[in-house]
Amino acid sequence: MAGRNFLFVPGPTNVPDRVLRAMVVPQEDHRSPKFGELGLACINGLKKIFKTEAGTPFIFPASGTGCWEAALANCLNPGDKVLIARFGQFSHLWADMAARLGFQVEILETPWGEGAPIERYRAALAADTTHSIKAVLATQNETATGVNSNIPALRAAIDSVKHPALLMVDSVSALASVDFRMDEWGVDVCVSGSQKGLMMPAGLGITCVSAKALELAKTSTSPRCYFDYGDMVRNNATGYFPYTPSIPLLYGLKEAIAMLLEEGLENVFARHAYLAAGVRAAVLEGWGLKLCATEPQWYSDTVSAIMVPEGFDAAKVIARAYSQYNTSLGAGLSKVAGKVFRIGHLGDSNVVMCLAAVAAAEIAMIDVGIPVTPGSGVAAASTYYRTHSPEAA
């Protein structure tokens, strides 16, 4: 099909040309005297992205999933208990991984469409008087449902009952798009990846670990090797890695971090809030449809999960958009398969890209018989964009 494929899945996201060019490099010796400069540039740059001075970022040749595993295997002892709220496919997968690795998992079942239930976390921790819960797991942005959770409120809840558990946060689809503050929010492990807000191809698992969690990792006895934090710490001190890193991806990461810092993280967050609000205007006001996120407090500024009306199949909208209009929309996963399609509006995105996503979704919905008024979504989104600005969002 002529022209570009328009990519609006919430990861992998669009890679800016600057980052693409930065990755076209010859291979080089990853033990050369010079190589450490690249490693250190990436690690130090990531500290700014995580907003940390006390934390230690690690870059694994992996994806976000690998960093979930690294967090559990490094910081916990065999059979330890973790507490996690499940409200979408990604929180489900992390809980499932913890169980498959042999940890005890206490799950707070939460309706899909809501975010982290702060009071229920607090109650579960308060009831745990023997402190058998060793880690509290939370998904900052549930990509399956387009739901954002309040991580500082969760930190405050943990502190209010003086519980010593580690706070582990999945920020795979939030970091570098919406605010994240490792030190200020008292996060012990933040898990992320290269292919969402960081505007890169998949291939790097990106994580940050607090001093408290690193200390626990020194004595924890859960088996791990490839994902061992200790091996990383020793090699990273001079910018090197325990094994062969992906050199093009590191050059790309360095460039992506430079772009984010040039724009300014606060401006990046304001842009995401503004773009997301325009897409929501299309959904709620233009089409008169519902989001999977049930209340404004849960609305995600990186991905919108849009409910198709009863009796229609969201998978058909996605298939039509792809085959007829060369546009990739995100699928509904697991429990919401067929009920939602998703528009990712994170990373290297702007107003006209979001209008294109809205236009493609709109015509694909009309094609499969969903009764939305032609032009209504585009009109609502464009009105929002014309009458607001990112600063004011």
Ligand X SMILES: *Cc1c(COP(=O)(O)O)cnc(C)c1O
For ligand X, which is the closer residue by CB, 63 or 304? Answer: 63
CA distance 315 to 292: 15
Place of tokens 């975010």: 115
Residues of this chain that bind ligand X (CB under 6 A): 11, 63-65, 90, 139, 141, 143, 170, 172-173, 193, 202
Of residues 150, 113, 112, 144, the one with CA closest to residue 293: 113
Are the C-beta atoms of 379 and 286 separated by less than 8 Å? Answer: yes
Cβ atoms within 10 Å, residue 152: 13
For ligand X, which is the closer residue by CB, 65 or 104? Answer: 65
Measured from the CB of residue 392, what is the shortest distance to ligand X in angstroms? Answer: 28
Q: Where are the beta strands (DSSP E) in 286-387?
A: 290-291, 303-307, 327-329, 340-344
Read off the tokens for 138.
């939370």
CA distance 272 to 162: 35
Measured from the CB of residue 387, what is the shortest distance to ligand X in angstroms? Answer: 31
CA distance 271 to 276: 8
Cα-based distances in Å from 362 to 209, 214, 352, 375, 386: 42, 48, 15, 8, 20
Are the C-beta atoms of 362 and 43 separated by less than 8 Å? Answer: no
For ligand X, which is the closer residue by CB, 9 or 368? Answer: 9
For ligand X, which is the closer residue by CB, 71 or 359? Answer: 71
Residue nearest to ligand X (CB): 64
Are the C-beta atoms of 364 and 323 separated by less than 8 Å? Answer: no
Measured from the CB of residue 187, what is the shortest distance to ligand X in angstroms? Answer: 15
Measured from the CB of residue 205, what is the shortest distance to ligand X in angstroms? Answer: 7
Measured from the CB of residue 191, what is the shortest distance to ligand X in angstroms? Answer: 7
Measured from the CB of residue 75, what is the shortest distance to ligand X in angstroms? Answer: 18
For ligand X, which is the closer residue by CB, 349 or 382? Answer: 349
CA distance 311 to 300: 26
Measured from the CB of residue 101, what is the shortest distance to ligand X in angstroms? Answer: 15
For ligand X, which is the closer residue by CB, 56 or 139? Answer: 139
- Which spans in 51-101 are helix H? 64-75, 89-100
For ligand X, which is the closer residue by CB, 138 or 363? Answer: 138
Give 337-340's long-range contacts (Cβ < 8 A, gap of 24+): 338/313, 338/314, 339/292, 339/307, 339/308, 339/314, 340/145, 340/292, 340/305, 340/306, 340/307, 340/308, 340/314
Measured from the CB of residue 143, what is the shortest distance to ligand X in angstroms? Answer: 3
For ligand X, which is the closer residue by CB, 80 or 142? Answer: 142
